[in-house]
Amino acid sequence: MQEVALESAINSIRVRFGSHALTRAAELPPPQPWPSRTPIDRLTGIAGLPRGRLALFTGSGTCGKLTLALALLANATHEFAHAIVIDGGGFDPLSLLPFSPELGALTVVSAPAPEIAGEAASTLARAGAGFLLLMCALPEHWLGLLESGANRSGTVLVAVVDAPDRALAHASSISVGFSRRDWIWERGQMVGLRVSARCVKNRVAPPLGETELEIRYPLGTRELSDYQASVAEVPSPIEELSRCASAVV
C-alpha cells in the first residue's frame, strides 16, 4: 500500500512539473572521468576516477594503496594547475620523486587536527582544486560540505586510510580495497610486492572488478630523483590459465 502511494506521489510530481523533475539514481549519467593512466582506471567502469566524487583506498599494512595514490598524485601534477595533499602528519614530499611529479603544481597542507583538515579540504574543493589527496581522517560533519563543493567544481577526491569509519565509507562513491598477496624476491633480495586491488563499492558504474598489481621498489645507490617507481598490472592466475587453455586448443 505504501509503495502504491509513493508511486502515485511521484507520478503526480512528474505530471505537474514535467518528466525531468524527478530522476531515479539509476538513470543519472555517470560523472565525467579523469583518466589517471594507472591500473585503477579499469576498476571504475568509466575508464578513470570520477570528478566531483570521493574515491577511497583502503587496506591494512603494506598493501600498495599509498604507492598507487602517489602515482595518481604525480600524474595529477602534470594535468592540473593545483594538486593538493591534506596531510595529518607523516607525508614526505620526497616519497613522490620516483613518480616524476611536477613539483610546481603540488601544494601540501599540514593539518594537525581533524577540524583543520576538514575545513581546508572543503574550502579547496569548493574553490576548484584539480586534485585533492586526503591523508587523514575528516570529521563527519565536513564530509557533506566536501562532497557538495567537489561536485560543483569537479575536483578529483582520493582518500587513503587503513580502515574507514562508517561516515567516510558511506560518503565514498568508489572504494578500492588493497591486500598484499606476497613479496617479490630476486637473488635473495626483496624487490617489491604483489597486491590485489578489488573494487568493493561503486556508485558510478556497475562493474565491481578486481586486479593484481606488481609494485617494484627502486634499488641501488642513486639520487632519489633518479629512481623510477613501477606499478604494473599483472595477469591473475585465472587469466593465465585461460590463455594456456586457449593456446592448447
Among 156, 229, 222, 148, CA closest to 191:
229
Look at residue 24 and tell me if it is in a domain. no
**Confidence bin at 6 (pLDDT 50/70/90):** confident
Domain that holds residue 52: 30-248
Look at residue 17 and tell me if it is in a domain. no
Give the position of cell 585533492: 132
Look at residue 154 and tell me if it is in a domain. yes
**pLDDT, tens digit (0-9, with 9 covering 90-100), for 157-208:** 999 999 999 999 999 999 999 999 999 999 888 889 999 999 999 999 886 7
Among 61, 37, 66, CA closest to 181:
61
Look at residue 145 and tell me if it is in a domain. yes
pTM: predicted TM-score of the whole model, two decimal places: 0.81
Long-range contacts of 183-186 (CB under 8 A, 24+ apart): 184/214, 184/216
Total domains in the chain come to: 1
| CATH number where 222 lies | 3.40.50.300
